[in-house]
Amino acid sequence: MALAHALQMPFDIKRLVYRRHDFLPGLFRLPSLAGIDISKSSSLLPPWPDLLISAGMRNEPISLWIKKQSPNTRIVHIGRTWANTKYFDLVVTTPQYRLPSKRNILHNTITMHDVRDIDRNVTERIRRKYFPDLDPPYIAIMIGGDSGPYTFCRKTAERLATTLNTLSDIKKYSLLITTSARTPVNAIDTIENRLLVPKYVYRWRPDDPDNPYHTFLALAQKIIVTCDSVSMLSEAVATGKPVYLFDTESRFCNFSIRAFMYKGLMRFGPDRLSRDLSLVHQKLVHNGHVAWINKNGLLPFSPPPPPDDVDTTARIIRERLLSI
């Protein structure tokens, strides 16, 4: 959606309802509609679009099927592809997918985001609704969950709470904490019970029209993000504010067979079967956009302007694929 808006062109949204076996056409790299329930999905009929934006393995067969019906339609796929990248006009990716350097693969630093579209009036309304008595300045805490080699268990939650309680300058701030769909309930319970500083905790719920996530980004002077979420990290970096990474790598937690097996997959398996988020961390630290929390706390730094990946991607699409 962020890319569609950045292109500043009329667009339609196609909502698809997937069947249980929706992964099979993608697995076998087939241009097919077999993975969706056509009767319950948006119509896929002419006139065909000039440009199709998609993401995810389950959408690849649909995109390739449309390309088969309409060879002039340009396909932009976000993330990585299961099928050979040669079938796509442009693949927009980020470091964790470890894709090769090719003309039709655009390597961005962060993921697509809509942070610049934060409405200040909405921000103030949500502040008054959820935490009117919590005084600024604020630090936003963005919490993810289990992902690949990262584990957000109760032990990790205790470590985060202890870290926040002991930061030398934390008493100057109020904390705005948000969970995500992946955050375990017992972990956020631990954080909420152990924190000794002023705070507001938002527990993520689906389809909440007043989710204060963007409000937290807008109001915070500093932002802390758990390192398991590239999307939250990207959106934090897009604010241009100092962003700090909290390490949730599973070595700090109780043994997790899932995390152990994922590490083995990263080391010995094909690149397409895993993601290496540390490559994103390394690049953002190297570029000065983020810093790790260390024993000395949130060391001050001035980040450079955030990457303009959304606008750059839109410009490349207009120039290469649409001749605008």
CA 290, CA 306: separation in Å to the nearest integer? 11
Q: 3-state DSSP call for residue 9?
A: coil
How would you list the strands of the sheet with 174-178, edge to edge? 199-202, 174-178, 138-142, 222-226, 243-246, 290-292
Q: Which residue type occupies 308?
A: D
Cis peptide before 198 (omega within 30 of 0): no
CA 160, CA 190: separation in Å to the nearest integer? 10
In order of their start, the domains of the chain are 2-108+311-321 (no CATH), 119-292 (3.40.50)
pLDDT at 250: 64
pTM of the model: 0.92
Q: Which residue type occupies 148?
A: G
| Residues with Cβ within 8 Å of residue 295, at least 6 apart in sequence | none
- Listed as own residue / partner, the contacts of 115-118 with beta carbons closer than 8 Å and 24 or more positions apart are 115/214, 115/217, 115/235, 115/238, 115/239, 116/238, 117/5, 118/214, 118/215, 118/217, 118/218
Q: What is the DSSP track for 238-273?
A: HTTS-EEEE--BGGGSS--HHHHHHHHHHHHS-GGG
- Name the H helices within 8-95: 23-27, 60-69
pLDDT at 23: 85
Assess contact for 190 and 224: CB atoms under 8 A: no
Task: Using alpha carbons, select from 154, 284, 134 the residue that is nearest to residue 212.
Answer: 134
- Strand ranges, E, within the chain: 51-55, 74-78, 90-93, 105-107, 138-142, 174-178, 199-202, 222-226, 243-246, 290-292
Give the tokens for residue 264.
């083995």
pLDDT at 239: 95
Q: 3-state DSSP call for residue 200?
A: strand
CA 99, CA 296: separation in Å to the nearest integer? 36
One digit per residue, the tens of pLDDT, for the chain of length 324 reads 999 999 999 999 999 999 998 888 888 889 999 999 999 999 999 999 999 999 999 999 999 999 999 999 999 999 999 999 999 999 999 999 999 999 999 999 999 998 876 778 889 999 999 999 999 999 999 999 998 889 898 999 999 999 999 887 788 899 999 999 999 999 999 999 999 999 999 999 999 999 999 999 999 999 999 999 999 999 999 999 999 999 998 676 767 888 888 889 888 898 888 999 999 999 999 999 999 997 777 888 999 999 999 999 999 999 999 986
User: Residue 136 to residues 93, 174, 214: CA-CA distances in angstroms?
Assistant: 37, 6, 16
pLDDT at 35: 95
